[in-house]
Every structure is written in C-alpha cells, then in structure tokens.
Copies of this chain bind each other. A is one copy, B any other.
Amino acid sequence: MSEELAAGPKESPPAPRPGPREVWKKGGRLLSVLLTVNALLLACTLISGGAFNKVAVYDTDVFALLTTMMLLAALWILFYLLRTARCPDAVPYRDAHAGPVWLRGGLVLFGVCTLVMDVFKTGYYSSFFECQSAIKILYPLIQAVFVIVQTYFLWVSAKDCVHIHLDLTRCGLMFTLTTNLAIWMAAVVDESVHQAHSYSSSHSNASHTRLAPDPERASSPVGGDACSCNTALCQIFQQGYFYLYPFNIEYSLFASTMLYVMWKNVGRLLAPSHGHSHVLSRFSLFRETFFVGPTLGLMLFVVGLAVFIIYEVQVSAEGGQTQQALLIYYTFNIVCLGLMTLVSLSGSIIYRFDRRAMDHHKNPTRTLDVALLMGAALGQYAISYYSIVAVVVGMPKDLLGGLNLAHALLLIAQHTFQNVFIIESLHRGPPGAEPQDTPPKEPCHGLTFANVGALHTLPACPPTPSLVGSSSEGPQEVAAIILAPRGHWRRRCLRDISLFLLPCNVILWIMPAFGARPHFSNPVEVNFYGYALWAAIVNVCLPFGIFYRMHAVSSLLEVYVLS
C-alpha cells in the first residue's frame, strides 16, 4: 500500500491553482493510507484471532466489527452521493478508462449473487433464532444494504475525478476499500473453516482427522450444540449460502479494484471527456483475421463447456466416478493450456520481428493493468507450486498424479507467456507507427489507444495525425489510418492470437467461477498438506486466479484492437 502511495500518481504536475487550494496531495494520501493500514490490521487481527484462538475471540466480535464498518462505509457513500448530486463542481472530470464495462458488469453480477447469499444466510440463522446472537441475523441484512448502496455508487461514480472534500473523500474511499477487504478476509476464513469441518465430518473415520481443526471450533458457524439445523428448509439455506460464498469473495475483489482507481483519481486534472471509446468500438471491432484463431478458440470453448458439465455431474453423483471426471477435466485443461502457451509464445516471437516502436511514455491506466495482471497471476502461481511440491515429493505413481503435475506446470507456463505477450502488446506503438530512423523525442508522439487519456494530462499536446481514434478527426480519416497496414500478415496473426486466447480465457474463467474444484476432488494435495492448510491456500489464491481470467479477457480485447 505504501509503495503505491509513494509511487504516486503519474499525471503531470497540477496546473497553477488559487493559493489556498494549493494543497500537498501526498499529505491527504498519507492520511488515508494510514487509516486503511490501521483499520485493516485491526480487522485482520480479530478475524485471524477468531479463526485460530480456541476460546476467547467469538465470531460475534468479528461480525460486530464488520457490521460497524459496513454501516460507516454506507453512510459515507450516501453522504458522497448527496454532496456530488448537489454540488455541480464536485466532479469536473471523468476518467474514461476507469470502471470499464466488464468490471461494472461483473460487479453487478456478483453483487446480485451476494444478495441471494444474504437471503439464504438470514433464512438459515432465523431457523434457530432463539439460541443465536442477534448480530448473526443483523449481519447479512446490513451486508445486503451495503452491497446495494455500494454497487449503485460504483456504477454511477466509478469514473469520477472528485474535486471537493479531497481529504475526506480519500479517507472515505480507503475506508470503504478496507471494509471490502475485511469482508473478503472474513469470508475466506469462514469458508475454510466450513470446508474443513465438512471434510472432517465426512472423513471422521479416516486417518487425517488429527490434521483437521478442532471440530468444536469449526462447528461454531453452524450454531451451538443445542440448536442444530434439522429442517429441510434450513439445510437448503445452509448449502445455498456456502455455495454462493465465492461470488461474495469476487464481489469484494472487484469493488476493491474500482475503489482503488477512484482513490487514485481524487483531485486529478483531465481535459473534458472526449468519447474516443465510441470511435474505438465503432471502427475497430471488425478487422481482418485469418479466422483460424477465433474458430479454434470457439471450438475449445464449446468443448470446455461440455467437459465442465460432465465434470460437475460426475463429481456430484453418488459413487466413485470422481477419478474419471478428473481424468477428463485434466486432459482438456492440459490440451487447452498447452495450445495457449504455444500461441502466446508464437505471439512473442512475432513481436521480435515487428518493427513498431515501443511506447516508452507514462500511462497510469496501463500501469495499473500490468500490475493487476502480474499480481492476480500470483494466486494461480502459488496454487500450482504447492501442487508441484505435493506431487513431486509425495510421488503418487498413477496417471492422475502425472496429469496433475503436467497441469500445474502448464498453468505456470501459460500465465507467464500470456502475461509476457499481453504486456508487450500493450506497450507497442499504434499500428501506423512504422520504423523511424530517429527515435521519437516529442512528448506527444507514439501514444497508443491505451494512453489516449494520458494525452489530455499533457497540456501542450495537440492531436497528431499518427494518433488513431482521436475525436478531432473525422470517421473517414480514422478508418483510413486503421486500414492502412491492412493485409500485413503479422498484424493478422496477432489478431488471430488474441481472438484465440480470448474464448480460452473465458472458459477457464467459467470452470472455477461456477464451482469446479479439482483441488479437493484430487486427494494428492489434501493428503499431503492436510485439509485445513490446503483449503486455506486454495481459498485465498483461487479468487485471484478467477480475477486474472476476467482481467486477461479485457486486456486481450485491447490487444486485438491495438494490433
């Protein structure tokens, strides 16, 4: 967090402003980061204390803290919405790159799932109202209110560059971010405890019970011993809300990303909005390709969907079809990941022969994109390395062990090469920028689509003809520039590559997002690390892996448009 604070915003120094408004921006940021760090550490301490401590910290303490935080954050959001609605000068600029539609759409989708989860949770806790602390019923209700308020707020305000109450807004945004992270942590801990409990109760005669946590502790979310969940309705509520946890986790991650971008945009100065994204969508989404990439990608997508359905049916069926399901799942994933790795690699090789200039200029949106791609990939990396160690050291001699190892290795390779390909693509100059004998020196030269927005922070940059999609040019000119390098086989190849990777990433997103968990169906890692540790690793890291897939899809779309 502090690194981000220190690295600071990437726009040019602010233009001269009236005396009293000439504030030290980093001071306000420092304040809000300090608030976040302290609130987050307190929440983290209580939540981990609640999970590890056997006696003294009850989950009601955690619920009380989270409820208070959500109430405060919701109040601040309402205050913000009221203020910006009343004060027309509050939001003079809007950042066209913030809150893209895939992020806002995902937020609403996961928000709706969280609301359904809250209904289930309320129903579940109401089933044994008598012997339950009131906070446990209050918590999902307050959470539902918070989710509705926050989703509306982010949908409406994600692009805002606020210019009133700078310090208060920074602190409010950071506090809301902290609340989301705290909810995320609590959900991860709760889900791990629940999984470990259900695992230890289903394996109570197996040899691993000593590795599972204290059943007495694990049963606490299920209520005390006096109140058990016996009715059919209660059982449905319980199963439903645990099934919907992953969506709540994703919702918190999405909201955190958008809040962080809003925080970075507080007090930022931009030129009035320019609507280049419309030009982008009108002129750039239909471009020549070899049709091999998209066709192959769509085929893999359909096959993947079939594999996913077969896997889910076989795993949830009674009897021992898990082996076969895993065999199909791993085989498909290995083929898909292998192809993706090869294709990403060939994309990087094509760039070695591409003489377009690199874009060396600063671009805050691209910087955040790259950071998110690299950071989110860490989740999948970690899972894969834990798998590899378990398989290599544990040495299962069967086919499934080999497939598991190949799958983990290919996941690492695929994430690495895809990241390299995407990041290099995002740093390429626009299509028209063919080799120059003298390197570019003007600050406004060599901008890509991705940093058209950055242009408007440089006060002295008139739109240049090499800039594709700038609003000052007529549609004919734009089309001419876009079609200029038409027919070049390298461009076409790159487009094919991005259109192949796109549906592959979508199907690899759908599988874990909608409940495929080969990590637990496969006994190798569970037996090696013990259920509690392995559940914690997967529950912390997998949401990042899912987030990575969604982010990769949006980045690949940008790569397609750029190439």
Residues of chain B contacted by A439 (CB below 8 angstroms): 16-17, 22
A454 at the interface (CB under 8 A from B): no
**Given A30-B420, A420-B30, A423-B30, A529 and B49 touching (CB < 8 A)?**
yes
A491 at the interface (CB under 8 A from B): no
Identical chains bound together, number:
2
Least CB separation from A374: chain B residue:
B2
In the assembled complex, the Cα of A49 lies from the Cα of B534 at a distance in Å of: 11
In the assembled complex, the Cα of A34 lies from the Cα of B17 at a distance in Å of: 43
B27 adjacent to A385 (CB under 8 Å): no
In the assembled complex, the Cα of A203 lies from the Cα of B144 at a distance in Å of: 48
Residues of chain B contacted by A56 (CB below 8 angstroms): 393-394, 528
A381 adjacent to B528 (CB under 8 Å): no
A13 at the interface (CB under 8 A from B): yes
Residues of chain B contacted by A27 (CB below 8 angstroms): 424
Least CB separation from A384: chain B residue:
B41
Least CB separation from A348: chain B residue:
B27
Residues of chain B contacted by A388 (CB below 8 angstroms): 42, 45
| Chain B CB within 10 A, most for which of A4, A26, A44, A393 | A393
8 A Cβ contacts from A16-38 to B = 16-17, 22, 24, 26-27, 30, 33-34, 37-38
B8 adjacent to A427 (CB under 8 Å): no
A3 at the interface (CB under 8 A from B): yes
Residues of chain B contacted by A8 (CB below 8 angstroms): 367
- CB 8 Å contact bits of A355-373 with B (1 = contact, 0 = none): 0001011000001101101
Nearest CB of B to A297, in Å: 25
B5 adjacent to A370 (CB under 8 Å): yes
Nearest CB of B to A386, in Å: 5
Least CB separation from A368: chain B residue:
B6
A473 at the interface (CB under 8 A from B): no
B6 adjacent to A38 (CB under 8 Å): no
Least CB separation from A533: chain B residue:
B52
In the assembled complex, the Cα of A285 lies from the Cα of B146 at a distance in Å of: 55
Residue of B5, B24, B386, B424 touching A374 (CB-CB under 8 A): B5
A346 at the interface (CB under 8 A from B): no
A280 at the interface (CB under 8 A from B): no
B37 adjacent to A375 (CB under 8 Å): no
B529 adjacent to A375 (CB under 8 Å): no
B3 adjacent to A371 (CB under 8 Å): yes
Nearest CB of B to A371, in Å: 4
A371 adjacent to B6 (CB under 8 Å): yes
Residues of chain B contacted by A378 (CB below 8 angstroms): 2, 37, 41
A220 at the interface (CB under 8 A from B): no
Least CB separation from A34: chain B residue:
B416
Nearest CB of B to A378, in Å: 7
Residues of chain B contacted by A557 (CB below 8 angstroms): none
Least CB separation from A394: chain B residue:
B56
Residues of chain B contacted by A393 (CB below 8 angstroms): 49, 56-57, 61
- CB 8 Å contact bits of A37-81 with B (1 = contact, 0 = none): 110011011100100111011000100000000000000000000
- CB 8 Å contact bits of A238-265 with B (1 = contact, 0 = none): 0000000000000000000000000000
Nearest CB of B to A355, in Å: 11
Residues of chain B contacted by A3 (CB below 8 angstroms): 3-4, 7, 371, 375
In the assembled complex, the Cα of A4 lies from the Cα of B1 at a distance in Å of: 11
Least CB separation from A428: chain B residue:
B24
**Given A6-B368, A389-B46, A381 and B41 touching (CB < 8 A)?**
yes
- CB 8 Å contact bits of A526-541 with B (1 = contact, 0 = none): 0011100100000000
In the assembled complex, the Cα of A14 lies from the Cα of B441 at a distance in Å of: 10
In the assembled complex, the Cα of A295 lies from the Cα of B456 at a distance in Å of: 54
B46 adjacent to A374 (CB under 8 Å): no
A483 at the interface (CB under 8 A from B): no
A412 at the interface (CB under 8 A from B): yes
A529 adjacent to B385 (CB under 8 Å): no
Least CB separation from A31: chain B residue:
B420
In the assembled complex, the Cα of A367 lies from the Cα of B6 at a distance in Å of: 5
8 A Cβ contacts from A381-412 to B = 381-382, 385-386, 388-390, 393-394, 412
Question: What are 7 A-B residue pairs whose CB atoms fall within 8 Å in the complex?
Answer: A3-B371, A16-B439, A41-B385, A44-B382, A49-B528, A53-B528, A57-B393
Further contacts, 17 of them, CB under 8 A, given A3-B371, A13-B360, A24-B427: A2-B370, A3-B4, A7-B7, A7-B367, A27-B424, A30-B419, A30-B420, A37-B374, A37-B378, A38-B385, A38-B416, A41-B382, A45-B389, A49-B386, A49-B393, A49-B528, A56-B528
